[in-house]
Structures are given as C-alpha cells and as structure tokens.
Amino acid sequence: MSTNLIRYRVSTRRSAELTLLIGAWLIGVFAWILVDASTDAASLGGWTSLLSAGVLLLVTHGVVRWQAPYADPLLLPSVAALNMLGLAMIHRLDAAAAQRAASNGSPPPTPDVYLQLTWMLVGLIAFIVVLTFVGDHRRLQRFTFTAGFAGIVLLFLPLLPIIGTEVNGAQLWISLFGLTFQPGELAKVALTIFFAGFLVGRRHSLALVHKKILGIGIPRGKDVGPLFLVWIFALLVLILERDLGTSLLLFGLFTVMLYVATGRRSWVLIGALLLAVGGALAYRLFGHVQIRFDVWLRPFDDANGNGYQIVQSLYGLANGGIFGTGWGQGYPQLVPFAKTDFITSALGEELGLMGLIAILLLFAIIVERGARAAVATRDPFGNLFAIGLTTVIGLQTFIVIGGVTRLVPLTGLTTPFLSYGGSSLVANYIIIGILIRISNAARAPEITDDQLVLRQDVETK
Amino acid sequence: MSELLLSILRIGFLLALWWFVLTVVSVLRRDLQAPRDAKPLTPARSSKQPSQRPTLRSRKTSTKLVIVEGALTGTVLPLGTSPISIGRAPDSTVVLDDDFVSTRHAQLTPNGNHWIVEDLGSTNGTWIDRTRISAPTVLRPGTQLRIGRTSMELSS
C-alpha cells in the first residue's frame, strides 16, 4: 500500500478570490470616475495608474494560485479594496492640492498618487517574494534572534546622523538616494517573528509561576528576561524618536502574544497596569504626550492651535453625516495630513458613516481571516506568528482610527493600506503575504511529505 | 454634471461598496460551513491487494487511527496489517514532534481483531484514557491513546 491518506475534496475558492479582486478593482474605478466627475482631477490623468493597479492585482492573484493554491480567498480582495479606496482618495486630495496651488498662482504640485502606485507595486512585489521564497513559514523560526536584532537595528536607524530624517517633530524616517523610508514599519514584522519564535519554545515555562506578588504569578526571570530586554530597548528607541503610535502598537502586540502563548489572563492585567503607569509617566515627562492627552480630552479649548487637526477632522466627519458628501464634494483637504494619518476622516467625510462602516468591516474581515489562519494552522510557531501579524494590523487600525474619531488619544500611525506612505504599504503587504502563506498551510487538505508524518511504505515493512 | 445625477451616483457608490463587503461576508460564511459538506475524494486510496483486505479481518475491526488532539489533530492513519510505531524518530510510522515524546515511544500491533499498545520504555509514558499502561494493553475503539500532547483513537 502506498500513500493511503484519506483525501477530502476541499474547495480552494480561488475563483471567488478572482471575482472579488475584480470587484475590488471596479470599486476603485467607480470611485475614480466620481472623483474625476466632480473635481477637476481628470486633468491630472491617472487612468494608466488605475489600469496598472488592476494588472498588478491580477498578476498577484496568479502567483497566489500558483504558490499558495489553498490560501485564504478573502485576504487579498479585502486588502485590494482598501488599497484602491486609498488610491482614489489620494487622487481626490491631489486634485484639491492642485486647485489650491492654482488659486495661489503657484506651480501645481506633483500628484502623490503616482508615488503611492509605485509603492503599491513595490508592496505587491514584496508580497510575491515572500509568498515564493518563504515556502514554509516555519523556516522563519530559525531567524528568531536575527529578527529580534534586526528589529532593534531598524528601529534605531532613524537616529543615525546622516541618513536619519526628522519630519514633523518625529525622527522616524531614513533618507537614502532621495527616497524616504520608515524602517519602524518593517521592524514590527521582524519583532513579531522574534516574539513568536521566542515565546513558542518557552510558553510552557512561562506559564509556570515562580513566585507570587500581590496575587499575580511572576514567571522565572530567565524565561522573560530577554523578552523584556528587547521590549524595553524598543520602547527607549521609540521615546527618543517621539513615536507614540509605534510604541503603543509594539506594547499591545507584546501583551497579546504573551497572553496567547501562555493562556494566562494575568498578562493582560499586567499589560493594562504597565500601560496605565507608562501613560501617566509619559504625561508627566514629555510635553508632546501632554498635548496629545489635552487635545484628546478638550479639543475645542484650543481649536485653532494644537486641537486644529482633530477639530477639523470632527467637523469633516460631521459634514459627511450618514451617507457622506460624495466623492469630491466635501472639504477633506482642510484637515492637515489628510493623505496620511487622517485619510479615515477624509473617507468618512465623503463616504459618510455608511462608507466608514464598510471600510471598518473590511478591516474586521482581514483580522478574522488572520485569526482563523492562526487557529487552523497546525504548528505552534505558526499559531503565534499569525496571531501576532493579525494583531499588528488590527491594533494599528484601532489606534489610528480611534485617534481620528477621538476615541483614544491621537498617536501618529498610518491607516493600513489606505494611507499615503510607502513603508507602511510595503510592510503591510509583507504581513498579508505571510498570512496567506500560513493560511495555505492551514487549509491544505492533506499532509505533505515534508511534514514527515506518515511513512509511505507502511505495509512493506 | 447635474446635482441629481451626482446624488444618485453617490448612493450608487455606497451600494456598490456594501455589495462588495456583503459578497465577501457571504463567501466567508460559505467557507465556515465548508467542512460539514466536504466529501471524501478517494476513501483509503490505492491498495495493492484490495480484494484481500476484507478477508484479513472481520467487520468489527478498526480501520483507522484518528489523531484527535495535538499538533497533528485531524490526521487519519489507515490501519493495515503491519505494526505502527509512534515516536520522535523520523522513521516512525507516526512521527510526533513533541518534547514529551520519546524517540521510540510506543508500538501498536494488530492481533486478530484487536490492536495491542505497547510502551517501548518511554520517559513520559503511554496512557489509555487516564491510566498509564505498564504492560501491552488492548486498545479498544472509543478509548483515547495519549502520548505526550497527542491523543488518538481507533475508528472503524
């Protein structure tokens, strides 16, 4: 008897993926047409970029079919829809910028949408590379400490004298050959590999209680030492760079992964306590943190100063109402940084609450699919890694949209896939690439040879 | 463009966006239900002597070893007439990559209609339900064989 595993017919749903991908692209085209119809954005051109975005997505779909035939069919279309909406909104804000330049009599600025499209291309190439060359996500476990080190180095890069660049008070960017890049975005992927690889070997010993302090079990120092070291180091770098958003994101990621690895709720409690203490300390020590808190609690006290951005964002959302003003009909350009941090408020103004809820649902679907891949995959490293990556996307979305809508204090982060910004787009496409890879392993119907589960010659023995 | 047409298109876009989201959700729902109506493509594929099989054992004999808990959950191992070795060694029939499993942990041997479990001197023991076995023991269908973090069951 040779291989005699029972095979199940598993629907791969690749054609559903293709249909939805085309749907996502058509939504982008629809938005683009509406923008061109109601502003003078048509003069900026951009139809070639729309077509090339469509071709890129089709090629990516082909690679998924070839490299990961059992992968989750919903991740890519949801991401593509968000990316297309982001492109359309950047195009719309380009039109506003051009109009403003025209009324000032200054030369029209270069449209940002082309650069964003180039980054989308880079992101999709990174996605394809990840999918093709990381044949098995478990291989990444070998790079646990390399990834931890790389993560720290990446976080450190912007502080270096020559290549580091300060933009808007935060030293987050590096500038090479005229291109700026935010290495912290890649650092979150590297650090997720580190946390997952580190925790997977130690999750049982971490669950052991060494001693109890105030009724909370504290694990042995040697089990958590390296973890806290990397984490404190990461936070220090971020404080030096004044990047609140990424600190918050890494802290949340760390807490969630500890909780998932050990299954002990005390970690969530410890995390919440540390967050409260850290927040209070940061409020006392740093002026910029204090401003963020004050603006969050009482934005209208300083509506023309520090509160200007959030107040304009709230006015924009109010102007949008339930059904929105329609593409090109609102004034999202009045919010500073509408293309990056505040793209949600721009979309909220022009698409209204209904549009914003649809966008949030797309994020929820991405998180659900990521979590499902995490639960369904068979190896413990994959479980932790996938839940970590999913947490990065979910938490980042929560932090930035929560900030824009004044649910939580505003900390600068990009909205995944929507915002203008190359580093974030590329890093998030890498994350989706790994999630697709893991979901392929989780959904593949039979055990493959490399898993060495069953001997082929059971009966010849 | 006229105001009316723009308003219609504005609502039309929201409808299109929601249509997309709801289609994604409906695929998601179908995907969640899929395992229930999945059908075996080839039940126990390619046996060299298919006609011989029924004569080798009676109707009651278990034909499958199903892993119900652990990293390999869901794996189904069809049982033949040869013994099955379980352990960390790569040449075992069932390789369990688990720190709590010994290199050569246990062996399952067919004996008439039964399967006999034997512990091969493992460190952490071989358990049937909640009892650690000390001598070769008959594994009955419906009882769980536990090795390290993996549990398996016979099934017909």
Q: What is the pLDDT of residues A131-151, one digit of tens each?
A: 998 878 888 888 888 998 898
Model confidence pLDDT, tens digit, residues A98-134: 888 888 888 878 888 888 999 999 999 999 999 998 8
Q: Choose the weakest-confidence range: A74-88, A210-224, B56-70.
A: A210-224
Higher pLDDT, A58 or A201: A58
pLDDT of residue B65: 85
Interface of B with A in 48-67 (CB under 8 A): 48, 64
Residue A212 predicted with pLDDT over 70: no
Residue A178 predicted with pLDDT over 70: no
Which ipTM did the prediction report? 0.86
Most confident of A77-86, A156-165, A183-192, A216-225: A77-86
Region A161-187: mean pLDDT is 74
Residue A453 predicted with pLDDT over 80: no
CA nearest neighbour of A19 among B24, B12, B16: B24
pLDDT of residue B135: 79
The CA distance from A449 to A460, in Å, is 18
The CA distance from B115 to B132, in Å, is 17
Indicate the SS3 state at residue B2: coil
Going by C-beta distance under 8 Å and a sequence separation of 6 or more, which residues neighbour residue B22?
Answer: none
Angstroms from B132 CA to nearest CA on chain A: 22
DSSP string, B61-110: S--EEEEEESTTTT-EEE--SS-EEEESSTTSSEE---TTS-SS-EEEEE
Interface residue A200 vs chain B (CB under 8 A): no
Model confidence pLDDT, tens digit, residues B61-70: 677 888 888 8
pLDDT of residue A425: 94
The CA distance from A156 to B80, in Å, is 59
CA B94 distance to own-chain centroid: 12
Angstroms from A326 CA to nearest CA on chain B: 5
Confidence bin at A318 (pLDDT 50/70/90): very high
Q: How far is CA A398 from CA A45, A410, A424, A428, in A?
A: 34, 11, 15, 15
- Single-letter amino acid code for the residue at B90: P
Model confidence pLDDT, tens digit, residues B47-95: 444 444 444 444 456 778 888 888 788 788 888 777 888 888 877 888 8
Higher pLDDT, A399 or B32: A399
pLDDT of residue A40: 78
pLDDT of residue A198: 86
DSSP type of residue A454: B
Residue of chain A whose alpha carbon sits nearest to that of B40: A8
> Cβ A379–B71 below 8 Å, yes or no?
yes
Indicate the SS3 state at residue B140: coil
CB atoms within 10 A of CB B57: 17
Residue A177 predicted with pLDDT over 80: no
CA nearest neighbour of A113 among A141, A158, A83: A83
A3, A4, A138, best to mutate vs chain B, most B CBs in 10 Å:
A4
CA nearest neighbour of A437 among A122, A126, A12, A137: A137
Residue of chain A whose alpha carbon sits nearest to that of B92: A455
Confidence bin at A348 (pLDDT 50/70/90): very high
Task: Please state, rounded to an integer, the average pLDDT across all residues of chain A.
Answer: 84
> Cβ A3–B45 below 8 Å, yes or no?
yes
Pairing relationship of beta strands A216-218 and B40-42 according to DSSP bridges: unpaired
Task: List the beta bridge partners of residue B119.
Answer: B106
- Give B-chain residues touching A6 at CB under 8 angstroms: 40, 42-45, 64, 76, 78
Tokens 């760390």 belong to residue: A254
